Amino acid sequence: MKKLLIKNLQKKYNTVILKNNLDISKGDIEDIPYLIPLLKELFTIEKDFTFDKSKHEEGLKLLISNNNSRIVVARFENEVIAMVTIQTIISTATGSKTGLIEDFIVKDDFRDLGVGTHLFNYLKEYAKKHHMKRLQLVCDEDNDVAKEFYTNKSFKKSNLAAWYNHLKE
Sheet holding 79-91, edge to edge: 22-26, 69-76, 79-91, 96-106, 132-137
Q: Pick from 100, 47, 46, 37: which is nearest to 73 by CA? A: 37
Q: Among 10-24, 32-46, 89-103, 149-163, which is the least confidently predicted range?
A: 10-24
What pLDDT, on the 0 to 100 scale, is given for residue 94? 92
What pLDDT, on the 0 to 100 scale, is given for residue 66? 97
Distance between terminal CA atoms of the chain? Answer: 60
Tell me how far apart the alpha carbons of residues 21 and 121 are, in angstroms, rounded to a whole number. Answer: 16
140 in Cβ contact with 105 (< 8 Å): no
How big is the chain, counted in residues? 169
Mean model confidence pLDDT for the chain: 90
What pLDDT, on the 0 to 100 scale, is given for residue 17? 57
What pLDDT, on the 0 to 100 scale, is given for residue 62? 98
Q: For the chain, what are the domain ranges?
A: 20-138
What pLDDT, on the 0 to 100 scale, is given for residue 5? 46
| pLDDT tops 70 at residue 152 | yes
pLDDT, tens digit, for every residue of 57-96?
999 999 999 999 999 999 998 999 999 999 999 999 999 9
Q: What is the CATH number of domain 20-138?
A: 3.40.630.30
65 in Cβ contact with 107 (< 8 Å): no
| pLDDT tops 70 at residue 115 | yes
